[in-house]
Amino acid sequence: MPYQLLLTSLENGVFTITINRPDKLNALNTRVIEELSTAVEEVYHNPEIKSAIITGAGSKSFVAGADISEFLQLDALQGEELARRGQQMVFDKIENAPKPVIAAVNGFALGGGCELALACHFIIASETARFGQPEVNLGLIPGYGGTQRLVQVAGKGRAMQLIMTGELINAADAMQYGIVNSVVKPEELLDKAKEILSVINSKAPLAISRVIASINAFDHTQAGYDYEIKKFGECFGTEDLKEGATAFLEKRKPNFKGK
Ligand code: COA
């Protein structure tokens, strides 16, 4: 399958998906979401793939969020659609994949990037990783499941603080928060991910897939995700989001008016 914005490789049953837009810090534009959806379908249906790793190209960023330059033309309904499509096409599909999909976070995992890592079954990070949900800086909220998945791993208070302040945390703090399973040197990141997957790949595949489904069944309801999609969409009806996204693209501070 030819991809424009992903690099993929298959080695010893491990399918590595690398988001390859380093000049834009691997931001998730429409094309990346579509290609990720196709790549995750490969994980489901290619019998040679036993497990997968999602990572970002370059040393700076895993994924620095959804592509802000695509926000300005969207109204509230289209904003809702952006979140719903992304959740259904990629994030939910990763979470419910019948084979392990892990995130190897090599730099910034912000907004949709943090949500992408959280949708994976678990996260390995390099010492250079930074995690955050900075949507409030744009007049927005997370829309790819962040309000739901972050609270599951980090707890309510930490999720509230991270999402309301928009602050970034380093890999060590992310590990302490329960977001990340292990932190390694940047050059060891992919080897560490492959080492863990080689253990998992040696187990019974049908048992592994039932582990994933059973753990996901813990206290998992769709209602919270649907509520997030609605609230995310509503932000696109505000002047503040237009101001926030424009300010980011113009590299200046936003002037929010609460409208
Ligand atoms: N959407 C679109 N473009 C993005 C982006 C995003 N989420 N994140 C980074 N980029 C682009 C920048 O616009 C810049 O493009 P340019 O070179 O054409 O101007 C390029 O990627 C490099 O980013 P830059 O901001 O110059 O790098 P930096 O090292 O100064 O800052 C960040 C890095 C991650 C702190 C900063 O890029 C940032 O805050 N990104 C947005 C994070 C965010 O709000 N994510 C949630 C979106 S909902």
- Residue 217: pLDDT band (50, 70, 90) is confident
pLDDT at 136: 98
Q: Residue 220: what pLDDT?
A: 72
Domain-by-domain residue ranges, the chain? 6-187
**Alpha-carbon distance 130 to 127, whole Å?**
9
Residue 258: predicted pLDDT: 84
For residues 52-63, average pLDDT: 98
Q: What is the pLDDT of residues 95-125, one digit of tens each?
A: 999 999 999 999 999 999 999 999 999 999 9
Q: Is the pLDDT of residue 55 over 90?
A: yes
Ligand 1 in reach of 68 Cβ (< 6 A): yes
Please give the residue that has the higher pLDDT: either 227 or 180: 180
The whole-number pLDDT of residue 223 equals 84
Ligand 1 atom nearest residue 24's Cα: 21
Active site residue 48: no
**Coil, strand or helix: which one is 17?**
strand
CA of 64 to the centre of ligand 1 (A): 6
Q: Which two tokens stand for residue 39?
A: 């790549």
Q: Which atom of ligand 1 lies at the shortest distance from residue 249's CA?
A: 13
- Is pLDDT of 1 > 70? no
CA of 59 to the centre of ligand 1 (A): 15
pLDDT more than 90, % of the chain: 90
pLDDT in tens, 132-151: 999 999 999 999 999 999 99
| pLDDT at residue 219 is higher than 80 | no
The question of whether 115 is a catalytic residue gets the answer yes
pLDDT of 248 higher than 70: yes
For residue 118, the CA-to-ligand 1 centroid distance in Å is 20
Hey, whose CA ends up nearest to atom 45 of ligand 1? 65
- Using CB atoms within 10 A of its CB, is residue 232 exposed (0-12), middle (13-18) or buried (19+)? buried
Is the shortest distance between the CB of 64 and ligand 1 below 6 Å? yes
pLDDT interval class at 218 (50, 70, 90): confident
Q: What was the pLDDT predicted at 131?
A: 98
> Do the bridges between strand 108-110 and strand 169-170 make them parallel or antiparallel, or are there none, so unpaired?
unpaired
- For 217, the token pair is 């069944």
Q: What is the pLDDT of residue 230?
A: 87
* CB-ligand 1 contact for 115 (6 Å cutoff): no
Ordered alpha helix ranges (H), the chain:
30-45, 76-86, 92-95, 112-119, 146-154, 156-165, 171-176, 189-201, 205-216, 223-235, 239-249
* Helix (H) or strand (E) segment spanning residue 125: strand 122-126
State in Å: Cα 129 to ligand 1 middle: 15
CATH of 6-187, one of 3.30.420.40, 3.90.226.10, 3.90.1150.10, 3.40.50.261: 3.90.226.10
Determine contact, residues 142/87, Cβ cutoff 8 Å: no
Q: Which of 34, 135, 228, 243 is catalytic?
A: 135
